[in-house]
Amino acid sequence: MTTLESFTKITPAESAPRGLIGGAPAAYAEPKAERKYRREPGFPVPILIAPATIWLIIFLFLPLISIFVFSFWKSTGHGMTPAFTLQHYRDFFVTEGFFDPKQPDFLTPSVFIRTLWTTFRFTITVMAICLVLAYPLAYFLSMQVQDFKWQLALFLLAMVPFWTSYLIRAVAWLPMLGRHGLINEFLVSIGAVDEPVSFFLYSEFSYTMALVQLYVVLAVGPIFFSLAKIDRTLLEAARDMGATPFQIFREIIAPLSLPGVAIGMIFVFVMIMGEFATAVVVYGGKTSTTGTVILNYYAIANYPFAAVNAFMLMVAMMIGVVVILRLVDIRKEL
Amino acid sequence: MARSTPEHRRKARVKAGFSVYYVIFLIFVYGPMFAMFTLSFQGPRGGVTFPMRGLSFYWWEKLTGPSAVGDLKSSLVRSLVLAIVVMLITALFSTMLAMAFRKRFRGSGALFYAVMAGLMVPGVLLSLGLASLLRVVGIPPGWWYSGLGVHVVWTLPFGFLVMMAVFNRFDSRLEEAARDMGADEWTVFKEVTLPLITPGIVAAGLFGFTLSYDEFARTTLLSGGQNTLPLDINASLTQRVQPTLFALGTASTLFSLLMIGLFIVIYTILYRRSR
């Protein structure tokens, strides 16, 4: 008998069943003594988390709390003074003549609610398009490309634009979409239209296109990761049991990739809700988003009203995120 | 071929279809940028759309000339300095946080969501909140502290997720072995942990650098009159758009790509060495 075997040889007491029948379970010695003198290894947690925590308090939480607080302050025309007034919230919800039956448009919501609604509507549209475009791409990369190196390379290639200036990428749409832009040239040359169409640029179309191009990569990433994590033996098993490719997709792949879809959609949602610069570049400032409203009121020094708009934007975003989280349980993914 | 069953041919067709889709997707994502690159070499009499009226460096020269949009050189320097500082802080903080998250501690859930909130809160809200707060306190904003602050809030979650992934695959037995041999915490970190996680730290830094270098929304109210490069680009958008802007955009994009390439090279070298 070698030394190793004698070490691993199980004594009768240990091999006895520890369950309901048979001998009493072997006494298990808690390694308490060892724990007592052996401190948890590694640097102390408080030191590790303190700098980042303080940083986040100053540059993330204080600004957000300020928005909430300042939304109740009083605007003085060139600044604000501490107060508690709901005037700015009234201004946000109620326009002049709202609920006044003598006015012809007494039920029309205020321009600020409508702006928020437009922002929201655009965001949902762009989200849907991003999902439709991103899912097949992520599926291709994770399921069809077999070699890991190729997978990574093709994934990075698709993701690189995310690391470049988004203002520049918005500007880059101008030569594509204008009256003399590439798309018009192309349509005229194949005879699809007789003369250049002007609706491509400075329109909902250009705005949607630009937003999709700017943010679609954010949806690709999480979907790709959740698809790549799916256990391939599951698919193998389903195939062996005679499932069609469509059944495999519907019963296995789609449900397992839902958390990634939810995370991707949350990214796209929050990014576009806070969007303001793209509208100026490719929509010619013809529409405003709640983001532009916030900056405009900041520019004319009405800080409390900017804060009200910002707070309502936050509320709308939270509702959106909660709805997405209600639909999909992403905890498994984190 | 023996493998040419109907099933295989169907699979090949599906794969080919997806590949075509991938290429179309790349054209969609990169196409506008290539149009911009090309048009930056527009002749002097050309405009911001095709056709090209000659081929020249006219707009590139205008970009480097003194009459360029704003004061490009100093805003570029500011952007670079900011990006480098953000990179260092992101790498440091995300490493420290991820090391803390290797253990259980009270409030870890809250801290996790707090870090992730940086990803979720739109830049315009942070800009507004911090700018009005600074106004009330009476400190004028400046890119080198208020801008830096919100940039790190934005880049930290990316770096943090990278480092979490790194430590998820980390073999702690190596550290235990070093400790058993009597090494103190600093030695363990310096000699064992750090060499193994350096590629991850570089990746976290990449996120910090590039995301900060291109960040616009979060700096918009917080730069205190001294513009960073994206702010200058935005300012030039309000004027008549000229091919100069395309030259600037091309230069900026090429620089971003160069940085990404550089980081990938460094990452690969370090990764090979850490194996």
Contact A49 B97 (CB under 8 A): yes
d(CA B252, CA B246): 10
pLDDT tens profile B216-237: 989 989 988 788 888 888 888 7
- For residue B3, the model assigns a pLDDT of 57
| Mean pLDDT, rounded, of chain B | 88
The DSSP string of A272-299 is HHT--HHHHHHHTT-S--HHHHHHHHHH
Cis peptide before B51 (omega within 30 of 0): yes
| Residue A5 confidence class, pLDDT cut points 50, 70, 90 | very low
* Domain residue spans of chain A: 111-327
In chain B, which residue's Cα lies nearest the Cα of A143? B15
The correct answer on CATH 1.10.3720.10 for the domain covering B70-239 is yes
pLDDT digits (tens, 9 = 90+) for A278-296: 887 887 777 788 989 999 9
Residues of B within 8 A of A279 (CB-CB) are none
**Residue B226: per-residue pLDDT:** 85
pLDDT computed for residue A11 by the predictor: 44
Does residue B31 belong to the interface with chain A, where contact is any CB pair within 8 Å?
yes
- As a whole number of Å, the end-to-end CA separation of chain A is 49
**Per-residue pLDDT, B68:** 52
Q: How confident is the model at residue B5 (pLDDT cuts 50, 70, 90)?
A: confident
Minimum-distance CB partner of A165 among B97, B206, B253: B253
User: Which one is predicted more confidently, B225 or A270?
Assistant: A270
- Cut 0.80: pTM above it: yes
A166 compared with B134, residue with greater pLDDT? B134
Q: Which of A47-61, A183-197, A235-249, A293-307 has the lowest mean pLDDT?
A: A183-197
Domain with CATH 1.10.3720.10 in chain B: 70-239
Q: Is B123 exposed, middle or buried (0-12, 13-18, 19+ CB in 10 A)?
A: buried
The tokens for A87 are 């005037």
Q: What pLDDT, on a 0 to 100 scale, did the predictor assign at position A3?
A: 44
What residues of chain A lie within 8 A of the CB of B217, using their CB?
Answer: 274, 276-277, 291
- Contacts of A185-190 with CB under 8 Å at 24 or more apart are A185/B50
Q: Is A111-327 assigned to CATH 3.30.230.30?
A: no
pLDDT of residue A22: 46
- Answer whether A182 sits within 8 Å of B50, measured CB to CB: yes
What is residue A18's predicted lDDT score, i.e. its pLDDT? 45
Chain B contact present for A60, CB below 8 A: yes
pLDDT score for B131:
94
Q: Bridge partners of A259?
A: none
B212 pLDDT higher than 90? yes
Interchain proximity B153–A40, CB inside 8 Å: no
Please give the pLDDT value at position A184. 80
Span of A190-194, B73-77, B142-146, B194-198 with lowest mean pLDDT: A190-194
* pLDDT value of position A334: 52
- The contacts of residue B43 (CB under 8 Å, 6+ apart) are B52, B53, B54, B55, B56, B58
Cβ contacts of A105 within 8 Å, gap of 6 or more: A97
| Mean pLDDT across A117-123 | 90
In the numeric block, the tokens 């999709």 are attached to A212
Task: Residue count of chain B, please give it.
Answer: 275
Chain A residues close to B248, C-beta within 8 Å = 168
A-B Cβ pairs (cutoff 8 Å, strict):
257
Report the residue of B41, B90, B128 to disrupt the A interface, i.e. the one with the largest count of A CBs within 10 Å: B128
Print the SS3 string covering chain B.
CCCCCHHHHHHHHHHHHHHHHHHHHHHHHHHHHHHHHHHCCECCCCCCCCCCCCECCHHHHHHHCCCCCCCHHHHHHHHHHHHHHHHHHHHHHHHHHHHHCCCCCCCHHHHHHHHHHHHHCCHHHHHHHHHHHHHHHCCCCCHHHHHHHHHHHHHHHHHHHHHHHHHHCCCCHHHHHHHHCCCCHHHHHHHHHHHHHHHHHHHHHHHHHHHHHCCCCCCCCCCCCCCCHHHHHHHHHHCCCCHHHHHHHHHHHHHHHHHHHHHHHHHHHHHHHHC
Nearest to A163 among B96, B217, B256 (CB): B256
Q: Is the pLDDT of residue B134 over 70?
A: yes
Higher per-residue confidence, A103 vs A215: A215
Show residues of chain A in contact with B39, CB under 8 Å. Answer: 175
User: pLDDT for A151-180, tens place per residue?
Assistant: 888 998 888 887 788 888 888 888 888 777
Q: Of A159, A140, A36, give the one whose Cα is nearest residue B260.
A: A159
**For the segment A126-143, what is each residue's pLDDT rounded down to a tens digit?**
999 999 999 999 999 998
CB contact under 8 A, A274 and B97: no
How confident is the prediction for chain A on average, in pLDDT?
82
How far are the Cα atoms of A71, A294, A297, B72, B147 from residue A302, in angstroms, in the given order? 10, 9, 5, 31, 22
Rounded to the nearest 5 degrees, what angle is found at the Cα of A176, between the Cα atoms of A173 and A178? Answer: 95
In 3D space, the residue among B242, B240, B220, B239 whose CA is nearest the CA of residue B231 turns out to be B220
CB of B254 less than 8 A from some CB of A: no
Q: Say whether A139 and B22 touch across the interface (CB within 8 A).
A: no
The string of pLDDT tens digits covering residues B135-185 is: 999 899 988 899 999 999 999 999 999 999 999 888 889 999 999 998 888
Structure confidence at residue A30 (pLDDT): 54
- pLDDT, one tens digit per residue, over A228-259 is 888 889 999 998 998 888 899 999 999 999 99
Whether A108 shows a pLDDT value over 90: the answer reads no
ipTM: 0.90
Between B33-47, B54-68, B75-89, the lowest mean confidence (pLDDT) is in B54-68
